[in-house]
Amino acid sequence: MKILVTGAGGFIGGHLVKRLLHLGYEVKCADVKPVDLWFQVHEQCENISIDLQLYENCLKVVDKDIDGVLNMACNMGGIGFIEWNKAKCMISVLINTHMLLACREKNVSKYFFSSSACAYNKDLQNENFISGLKEKDAYPANPEDGYGWEKLFSERMCRHFNEDFGMDTKVARYHNIFGPYGTFDGGREKSPAALCRKIVQAKIENKKDIEVWGDGEQSRSFLYIDDCVDATLLLFNSDITGPINIGSEEQVSINEMISMIEKISDYEVNKVYNTNMPVGVRGRSSDNELILKSLKWQPKLTLSQGLDKTYEWIYDSIKNRYNHTSVFRVS
């Protein structure tokens, strides 16, 4: 099979391409970033830098010999980015819209859309350590402004392309995916990568204080990237359409995650709380009943095991920067 992966230069997209190649697929890769800025570049693929917000560009990348599309492309980041860039996040709806239209035009019937737990009703997430969110909890609709609305709207479009045109659309709601070969600085990073980076830098510079957004008691569940790829491909090759949760049920507070990283790094820090920064909903976690029943899938790695791998990669990346520059600072 030949698979097109959009957003292939991003975090999840890069890992998906690697796995698909390992499984013997032919893979075509597209991303808006210049290829030399992709997190992972696989030379055996056709790698294209192109803006998929434009319909004519979607038509260019969707060949008639494409058997399926994994659409991972969107403008997104951690809570700071999505809170401060709501219009940019909303504009990503053009990517899904035009990719669906291009697939229909080229008779590509198998299509995966990467949605997010940000599509869930915010009113159900006002407490720490909430019960896991079930797929039905997205309605009545009240998702996170900007990014969440774009995801929910795009989910509906996939549903209607399935109903009206017979396209085999798959929708997964990702819950805080993390791991190596992704953003850990610059403003788009998510909390596991951000906290690993802060503790790595504190350790290297022999400092104690790290900034923590909010009071650190907000809770989440986090899923390691390898488990995410496993579940994604199971869904893609199944008869399930979704939406379906791909996440972990292991909830922690941000403070608890910092303690885990301190243990991994063998370095204790002093948490300096900044309550003026965005933190998103108070609590969020995945309910995995549906995916366990439908696909017999559950995570293999604990949060601590995933953090261990992520911390090691970020430590090596930052140490390498220190060794090759006279001054190194990350925002």
| Residues classed as catalytic | 147
Q: Which helix (H) or strand (E) holds 168?
A: strand 168-174
The string of DSSP letters for 46-72 reads EEEE--TTSHHHHHHH--TT--EEEE-
Tokens standing for 90?
A: 């909303």
Instruction: Give the helix/strand (H/E) hosting 263.
Output: helix 254-265
**Residues 253, 221: Cα–Cα separation, whole Å:** 9
Partners of 139 in beta bridges: none
DSSP 186-218: TT---HHHHHHHHHHHHHHTT--EEEEETTS--
Strands 68-71 and 110-116: parallel
Radius of gyration over alpha carbons of the chain, in Å? 19
Task: Give the chain's end-to-end CA distance (angstroms, integer).
Answer: 42
DSSP code string of 70-102: EE------SHHHHHH-HHHHHHTHHHHHHHHHH
Q: How far is residue 125's CA from residue 138's CA, in Å, rounded to a whole number?
A: 11
* Cα–Cα dist 264/256, whole Å: 13
